[in-house]
Chains A and B, each alone.
Chain A
Amino acid sequence: MDIFLQQIINGLVQGSIYAMVALGYTMVYGIMGLINFAHGEVVMIGTLVAITVVTFTLKLGFPVWLAGATGIAAAAAVCMALGWSLERIAYRPLRNAPRLTPLITAIGMSIVLQNVAMMVWGRNYMTFPSLVEKTQFEFGGAAFTSVQVMIVLVASISMGGLLFLVYRTRLGMAMRATAQNPAVAGLMGVNANRVIASAFVIGSALGAIAGVMVGTYYEIAHYQMGFMLGLKAFTAAVLGGIGNLAGAMAGGVLLGLIEALGAGYIGDLTGGFLGSHYQDIFAFVVLIGVLMFRPSGLFGEKTGDRA
């Protein structure tokens, strides 16, 4: 039982990170029907910026909380600027191009960003300085740390904030209107460019927070870390129904749980025929399964001709 509980905790924390990243995919897709495959790299850059800034400010003698806050702020600022520029450079000129074209630029941008990060930060693994004292807790035989609690908390708060923004503010209303029909929203006085840019900026800010979470959780970072994380988060977004905010959150957490429980129990269930090396494959089995049997995802509405 304690093992089961431990796996649930593992999955929940991992899932919160997936969910945060998945929101970036789902927001952009919801508004303009584009899959921003460079989003994983935005998260990666967020982590690396945070590492650099935190290490630097700690060296300057900042107290830990201030160094952490500066790191998060810097990561968010850089990622927001990056998200905005991505939209401006790579996607806006192609907004009326055939659907395949922006997809190709997205993949191109992802490769460009990886290589830029490699040039700036080098190829080595980087260590994230410990920001929080890792207090260890025991609950029903399962161990977890303060960092894990914080990740779930911050993820919940950020997601709550996003839901508030989308459903309770003017910008949110404009976003929902643009998502439904950009032309009609435009006639109603909605500036589509601004709405789309803000979707990128907000998604990237969430990505930056997710990047800092990954950094504080594993305490390592690397210029290639965004790729797999991006694919998993994309899967989570599809699982929940791409374009649907609550779906992305649920999809992320669900995917984290599937992976943790899958890796933990598949060996016993199949008598050793399948092993824990299938941990990464679960995500893609889920992706294919969802696309085959429920393309609109668990929570998605009819996606119509935009799919």
Chain B
Amino acid sequence: MQFARIPGITLALAAAIAMIGCGKKEEPQPQTAAPAAAPAPAAKPEVVVKLGHVAPMTGPQAHLGKDNENGAKLAVEELNAQTLEIGGAKVKFELLSEDDGADPKQGTIVAQKLVDAKVNGVIGHLNSGTTIPASKLYSDAGIPQISPSATNPKYTQQGFKTAFRVMANDVQQGKILGEFAAKQGAKTVAIVDDRTAYGQGLADEFKKSAEAAGLKVVATEYTNDKATDFKAILTKIKSTKADLVFYGGMDAQGGPMAKQMKELGLKAKFLGGDGVCTPEFTKLGGPATDGHYCSLPGMPLEKLAKGPEFKDKFTKKFNAEIQLYAPNAYDAVMVMADAMKRANSVEPAKYLPEVGKAAYDGVTAKIEFDDKGDLKGGAISIYQYKEGKLNYVETLGMAPAAAPAAAPAEAPAAAPAEKK
């Protein structure tokens, strides 16, 4: 009986919706036509370029997601202030920001949402774990994607023509960290990772490199990216008397881990990748982080030609410290816009080849991609924590070809943006 009634109701509802729909369609036509018609002769037609941005805006890494979003937002605002013309039309950039919660499942859901919204390009995602599954969707839809921060090598190794990243990957970073550990005089090393695509990937590369440099891996332990208690695994590491603890993971775990190491009386030095190279790490770890090392892809902002200027702009605008990848997110947007300008089109299919040919003098580096979409000549810098501050130690790896050189040839593209 009940089943019989439902189609009736749904039919009625459908009819009602259809009627409302029709009504809507008819109504706005004269309304929108009028204002659109008036300024048309005066100004050129305006094209809205929709840029998707995806990062965790909730969850333990929300502070990093917000940071990326702010970087991208700054770039979009600057682009709009330039009133660019591409393909004979004025373009207005619009940022569609989505939250993937650092969760691969959520990552593909919002990626599909952006594909359905027909975005012209995607900046993101933040984590390797979300970037890799989402990249398939963007590739299928032919939408160029530039990740500001996903460092897992797999991302660009899938053979997608749409996948790019604007920083050194984990193979480069892990290798350098392993060599650095050996250089520090460590003989034995314990490795902990958080089993995410990023943490695990970095730890694996570190292990390979450390072993190649003659270090002995005495313990391999794991945690997860939501844990707060590491005493059990640290106790085990203590029993191995390792000289150095390497952590592949993020600051929210790394900080408390450093603290608990001290409480357990571990004398080992702590070394981590870019995930723990943040102000948050030392905020959470307190004085226990003193003397620990971490690495960041690229050069320190202060040492880059446009770095201090970017920092000023950023802190003035958002009244917040740069956490980590905001400059990279900024560059990612700029590289994409630059490719659109050179292609004279905002159509993904038309400007995609130009992204690959980028030679953009960005804030973080001279951005050029290799045939896979990886950043050419990605450098890695090592930092040490002292009294709650990150102190630059040295830059290792491939020569940072771009950084000090002003590259005047490429300047025109970037210069207007930087003067604002």
Contact = CB atoms under 8 A, between A and B. Distances in A.
Interface in A1-45: 2-3, 6-7, 10-11, 14
B235 A3 contact: yes
Nearest to A123: B62
Given A125-B252, A219-B286, A275-B221, 17 more contacts: A3-B236, A14-B229, A123-B59, A123-B66, A124-B62, A127-B284, A218-B228, A219-B259, A219-B284, A224-B60, A260-B231, A260-B232, A264-B235, A276-B222, A277-B222, A277-B223, A280-B224
Interface of B: 57-60, 62-63, 66, 195, 220-224, 226-229, 231-233, 235-236, 238-239, 252, 255-256, 259, 263-265, 280, 283-284, 286
A7 B235 contact: yes
Given A125-B280, A224-B60, A143 B239 contact: no
Nearest to B239: A3
Contacts of A138: 265
Interface string A115-129: 000100001110100
Given A3-B239, A136-B265, A219 B256 contact: yes
A261 B59 CA distance: 29
Interface of A: 2-3, 6-7, 10-11, 14, 118, 123-125, 127, 130, 134, 136, 138, 143, 145, 218-220, 222, 224-225, 228, 259-264, 267, 272, 275-277, 279-280
B242 to A, nearest CB: 14
Contact of B232 (A2, A123, A134, A263): A263
A134 B263 contact: yes
A277 B264 contact: no
A10 B230 CA distance: 9
A136 B263 contact: yes
A123 B58 contact: yes
A125 B259 CA distance: 15
B233 A263 contact: yes
A22 B60 CA distance: 25
Contact of A224 (B59, B233, B236): B59
B246 to A, nearest CB: 15
B77 to A, nearest CB: 23
A10 B195 contact: no
A276 B233 contact: yes
Nearest to A280: B224
Given A136-B265, A219-B256, A222-B60, A275 B220 contact: yes
Q: Kindly list the 5 A-B residue pairs having the minimum CB-CB distance in the complex, ordered from nearest.
A: A277-B222, A123-B62, A263-B232, A10-B231, A143-B265
A142 to B, nearest CB: 8
Contacts of B259: 218-219
Contacts of A7: 232, 235
Contacts of A262: 232
B41 to A, nearest CB: 47
Contacts of B66: 123
B63 A124 contact: yes
Among the interface residues B227, B235, B286, which one has the most CB atoms of the partner chain A within 10 A? Answer: B235
Contact of A275 (B222, B280, B283): B222
B284 A10 contact: no
A263 B280 CA distance: 27
Nearest to A10: B231
A125 B229 contact: no
Contacts of B256: 218-220
A137 to B, nearest CB: 10
B236 A264 contact: yes
Nearest to A222: B60
A261 B231 CA distance: 11
B264 A220 contact: no
Contacts of B233: 263-264, 276, 279
Nearest to A277: B222
A266 to B, nearest CB: 10
Nearest to B283: A127
Nearest to B220: A275
B214 to A, nearest CB: 22
Contacts of A267: 221, 236
A275 B223 CA distance: 9
A277 B59 CA distance: 20
A45 B264 CA distance: 29
Nearest to B62: A123
Chain B CB within 10 Å, residue with most, of A14, A259, A264 = A264
A11 B63 CA distance: 31
B12 to A, nearest CB: 30
B307 to A, nearest CB: 25
B60 A125 contact: yes
A14 B231 CA distance: 10
Listed residue (A3, A145, A276) with the most chain B CB atoms within 10 angstroms of its CB: A276
A10 B286 contact: no
B221 A218 contact: no
Given A10-B231, A136-B265, A219-B259, A276 B221 contact: yes
Contacts of B57: 123
30 contacts: A3-B235, A3-B238, A3-B239, A7-B232, A10-B232, A11-B232, A14-B229, A124-B62, A125-B280, A125-B283, A125-B284, A127-B283, A136-B265, A143-B264, A218-B256, A219-B284, A222-B252, A224-B59, A225-B228, A259-B232, A260-B232, A261-B232, A263-B236, A272-B220, A275-B221, A276-B223, A276-B232, A276-B236, A277-B223, A279-B223
Contacts of B59: 123, 224
B283 A279 contact: no
B224 A277 contact: yes
A67 B347 CA distance: 60
Contacts of A10: 229, 231-232, 235
Contacts of A143: 263-265
A138 B228 CA distance: 23
Nearest to A228: B226
A134 to B, nearest CB: 7
Contacts of A125: 60, 63, 252, 255, 280, 283-284
| Among A136, A225, A277: residue with most chain B CB under 10 A | A277
B37 to A, nearest CB: 43
B288 to A, nearest CB: 10
